Amino acid sequence: MNQYIAPIRDMQFVMQELAGLDQVLALPGYEEADRDLVDAILEEAGKFAGEVLAPLNRVGDTEGCRWEAGQVTTAPGFKEAYRQFVESGWNGVACEPEFGGQGLPRLLSSAVREMWKASNMAFSLCPMLTQGAIEALALNGSSELKARFLEKMVSGEWTGTMNLTEPNAGSDLAAVRTRAEPQVDGSYRIFGQKIFITYGEHDMTDNIVHLVLARLPDAPAGVKGISLFVVPKLLVNADGSLGERNDAWCASIEHKMGIHGSPTAVMIFGENGGATGYLVGEANRGLEYMFVMMNEARFGVGLEGLAIGERAYQQALAYARERVQGKDMTSRSPESVAIIRHPDVRRMLMLMKAKIEAMRALAYVVASSLDHAHQASATDERNKHQAFADLLIPVVKGWLTETANELASIGVQVHGGMGFIEETGASQHFRDARIINIYEGTTGIQALDLIGRKTARDGGAAAKALVAEMLALDGQLAEQADADFTVIRQALVEGAAEMDDCVDYIVENFSANAAEVAAGSVPYLMLVGIVAGGWQMARAALAARRRLDEGSGDASFYRAKIATARFYAEHVMTQVAGLSRTVREGGKSVLMLDDEQF
């Protein structure tokens, strides 16, 4: 199924009621934006996603990319769609006006990016990587590098990549061997091989700006000896025009389980004398700079989880409404009914709907905090929001992508046997989703970041602050004297308490027994995601109740919000107690076997 309809109504609800759109628009730098502009951008983005990108999703999957003699040809229609994408100004929505961007809030750009990813995940990877490269250069590049590259990258005329991984160095970047040799003119010659480079070569733009991790001759060992370099596909002359071909070549592209429309390149630098590169910032600080890209990319990959879950849900829902099979258990009619009438199909659809709404709310709230962290006038406010975002970015990346795999699988299940048939398209979402909890650091890496840097390092302060914010909702929930809110309130209070207990366990035991605590890190990440999602669902239910009491808006939409929040409390939050026990008690058994006993 190629159809995708952007869920603009729900996006607007989350942005306005949960993510504080009005407060974001009031931040310094966003004075030119208002709700009318936001709504207009969402509408236009929805049209572009649905009419231009979505029809190419299946094409990208079936046709894929072709490599020949170092050149890559993208799937039919991709090049033309990218040209429309650039001409419409979509690439620079959240980029700085200084370099030709529109300077709009991350909250808005996150909603727009969700549409690109849901409509055509393979296509969306190219602008996502470019966005990360732009941010790394804007923050750390010299004025000369910014002048040479950023305007063309912000417009989308040129694209960007991240070159981290090597055959001998996957997530362990301390093992990077690519080397950089200084030249008398201040440039460097780059020699080495990188693998898994998304859009490392393609035919959609004339130039590709690679950001490459490499070592200088006198660099210290380990991660402290890594520097970051700009290595363009085509060299750029002093007047900004394109010059000769650089010694950076695509040796091959990978044959993958999914995202066939996105070329994943093996890149070779320096086979013909060395690729010309330019140092970004200071020597030996490359990993620090690359983490700017990586944090941006991790949040973006989290949005992919939300997006592909949404796409799988839309397809499953459409099929459930159309597929007629079996009798209605609530009726004596002999007529067969659409499978959406069957209780277990409804359960699966409700699980998809509830988790997607929780995922969207959490991602957009974090995006809003990033806006405050970057734009707020007061230092205290910036720091508070940065701590909140830092804590939750690994959760957005890890929980949303793990959940997306679950939802894509459920989407296949709703289709029954037809879900296993490629022509229906349900299996594409399942295959495409499988990479996202590996991208930009596996779920295990995100979980180690969450327990180590984000929970244990500050004595649990940020995590405890989050728990306190969750529990601050208790009074408002208690004021709603009906069964729905009683269930929602109890689930949130109990879930927050379990999270608090886990934080105490991690803080008390991490230094003395890091391995045992780390064994429960992924369950802890999933617990935090579920509880944070439940917090947002409770907030959504309260906002919906306020609108119903006012008698304003779509009453059916608001009643569905409350019902979905209750479902989340009864079907998702119930997992928290088990996860909490695993975090606090299950680490020892993970480590009990000797290697040879496996």
pLDDT at 529: 98
Q: Report the candidate in 38, 157, 165, 44 with the shortest Cα–Cα distance to residue 108.
A: 38
Residue type, 221: A
Distance CA 423, CA 131 (A): 33
Q: Report the candidate in 298, 258, 270 with the shortest Cα–Cα distance to residue 210.
A: 270
The model scores a pTM over 0.85: yes
Q: Report the candidate in 374, 362, 385 with the shortest Cα–Cα distance to residue 538.
A: 362
Contact 246, 233 (CB under 8 A): yes
For residue 399, what are the contacts with CB-CB under 8 A and spacing of at least 6?
305, 359, 362, 525, 526, 528, 529, 530, 533
Task: State whether residue 234 is helix, strand or coil.
Answer: strand
First to last CA, the chain: 43
Residue 440 among the catalytic residues: yes
Contact 183, 216 (CB under 8 A): no
Distance CA 384, CA 390 (A): 10
For residue 462, what are the contacts with CB-CB under 8 A and spacing of at least 6?
387, 388, 390, 391, 454, 455
Distance CA 214, CA 286 (A): 8
> Residues 214, 138, 147, CA angle at the centre, nearest 5°?
95
Spell 180-201 as b/e; 16+ CB within 10 A means b.
beeeeeebbbbbbbbbbbbbbb
Tokens 């033309």 found at = 80
pLDDT at 1: 62
pLDDT at 290: 80
DSSP string, 370-402: HHHHHH-SSHHHHHHHHHHHHHHHHHHHHHHHH
Distance CA 353, CA 362 (A): 14
Question: Where do the structural domains in the chain lie, given as residue ranges?
Answer: 442-593
pLDDT at 170: 64
Which one of 440, 469, 508, 596 is the catalytic residue?
440
Q: Which two tokens stand for residue 405?
A: 């795999």
Q: What is the pLDDT along the chain (598 residues), one digit of tens a residue?
A: 679 999 999 999 999 999 999 999 999 999 889 999 999 999 999 999 999 999 999 999 999 999 999 999 999 999 999 999 999 999 999 899 999 999 999 999 999 999 999 999 999 999 999 999 999 999 999 999 999 999 999 999 999 999 999 987 766 676 789 999 999 999 999 999 999 999 999 999 999 999 999 999 999 988 889 999 999 999 999 899 999 999 999 999 999 999 999 999 999 999 999 999 999 999 999 988 887 777 778 999 999 999 999 999 999 999 999 999 999 888 888 899 999 999 999 999 999 999 999 999 999 999 999 999 999 999 999 999 999 999 999 999 999 999 999 999 999 999 999 999 999 999 999 999 999 999 989 999 999 999 999 999 999 999 999 999 999 999 999 999 899 999 999 999 999 999 999 999 999 999 999 999 999 999 999 999 999 999 999 999 999 999 999 998 899 999 999 999 999 999 999 999 999 999 999 999 999 999 999 9
Sign of the alpha-carbon dihedral angle for 517, 437, 67, 157: negative
Distance CA 228, CA 278 (A): 8
Distance CA 362, CA 486 (A): 22
pLDDT at 171: 66
Q: What is the DSSP letter of 279?
A: E
Distance CA 382, CA 375 (A): 8
